[in-house]
Amino acid sequence: MKQLLALMYILIFSIAGRSQTTENIEMLFPKGKSKALILSYDDGCVQDRQLVKLMNKYDLIGTFHLNANKLGTANYLVKDEIKKLFKGHEVSVHTFNHPGLTRLSVEEIQFEIVEDREELERLVAYPVRGMAYPFGDHNDTVVDVISKLGIQYARTVNDTYGFEIPENFLKWHPTMHQFSKAYWKPNDPIQDSIEMTLFYKTIDSFLQTKNLAVLDIWGHSWEMGGDSKKWAETERFFKYLSAHSDVYYCKQIDLVDYIQAYKNLRFSMNNTMVFNPSSLMVFFRYNKVMHFVGPGETIRL
Ligand SMILES: [Zn+2]
């Protein structure tokens, strides 16, 4: 009897201690690609026209964070051009007036997000779900407020120089500023050259890595202003990053939707089957072999 009880305990505890393992499963991006590129520009100034033209020339996709209340004022884009200009790119929240959000009350933060989101949605005619913090300024209160207003990711300006997918999409730290921090101090060509070297070195490590990687470059088109050298440099790095068969060129919100679809895959107990409840085709590796599962499909592994 004692032996039987002991056996039962062993059996119960061995089942209770088991958990589903996902360690042999690795996410891939759409079409089985292992890298994703986000190009993220803030403020919606008139130089965005030139920037979008260059992006379109190299089949690159941008994410543009706009302040609706600035549109139509000096040096900013006008409302009537937003939908057409950013066709194929993403339009995203950057607050209504571009204040530092951490110095505002909860009500004021809500106003800045809601007004911007509503007006941008009216202009582009789709739900606007992403954001970049003005000046990168955020704290836990700001994050809590925006999380309740339908914002699904929010980019900071805390450059990581890495390629990791962030844990918290509302604290999305980018890889680096465009040209790294070159030109941040006026008339410092030695520093500029160090920063440009770092910029291209980081791009090269992204292009060479065999790991899953997201390169997220942010900036402002007004930083190039009327400087033809900076525009030529922009074209150079756009060309350098274009047409790589292992890179998924995406709007930031598309990447967010895709990662969520991946996270929603439902594997059977022994990983012999997987169900994809989302509306996206999802790609992954299981025991180093690539698989894909269509929207609503269940496949055997
Ligand atoms: Zn800004």
Q: Which of 259, 278, 293 is a domain's end point?
A: 259
Residue 9: per-residue pLDDT:
54
Residues 219-241, mean pLDDT to the nearest whole number: 96
- Does residue 221 lie in a domain region? yes
- Does residue 11 lie in a domain region? no
Identify whether residues 294 and 163 lie together within a single domain. no
CA distance 40 to 63: 5
Identify whether residues 210 and 165 lie together within a single domain. yes
Residues 168-192, mean pLDDT to the nearest whole number: 94
Nearest CA-CA partner of 77 in 51, 41, 47: 47
CA distance 181 to 157: 12
Residue range of the domain that includes 275: 265-301
Residue 229: per-residue pLDDT:
94
- Does residue 147 lie in a domain region? yes
For 215, the enclosing helix (H) or strand (E) is strand 213-219
Of the pLDDT bands very low, low, confident and very high (cuts 50, 70, 90), residue 85 is: very high
Q: Give the distance (Å) from ligand 1 centre to CA of residue 154.
A: 13
Structure tokens at 187: 């008339």
Does 91 have pLDDT greater than 70?
yes
Q: Give the distance (Å) from ligand 1 centre to CA of residue 239.
A: 25
Identify whether residues 211 and 272 lie together within a single domain. no
Residue 185: per-residue pLDDT:
87
Identify whether residues 280 and 224 lie together within a single domain. no
Q: Give the distance (Å) from ligand 1 centre to CA of residue 84.
A: 22
- Does residue 209 lie in a domain region? yes
Q: What is the mean pLDDT of the chain?
A: 94
- Does residue 216 lie in a domain region? yes
| Residue reference for tokens 């999305």 | 172
- Supply the angle between the helices 106-124 and 140-147 in degrees, to the nearest 10: 40
Q: Give the distance (Å) from ligand 1 centre to CA of residue 64.
A: 10
Is residue 37 within 8 A of residue 15, CB to CB? The reply is no
Residues 204-208, mean pLDDT to the nearest whole number: 98
Share of the chain above pLDDT 70, in %: 94
Identify whether residues 224 and 171 lie together within a single domain. yes
Residue 6: per-residue pLDDT:
59
- Please give the model's pTM, rounded to 2 decimal places: 0.92
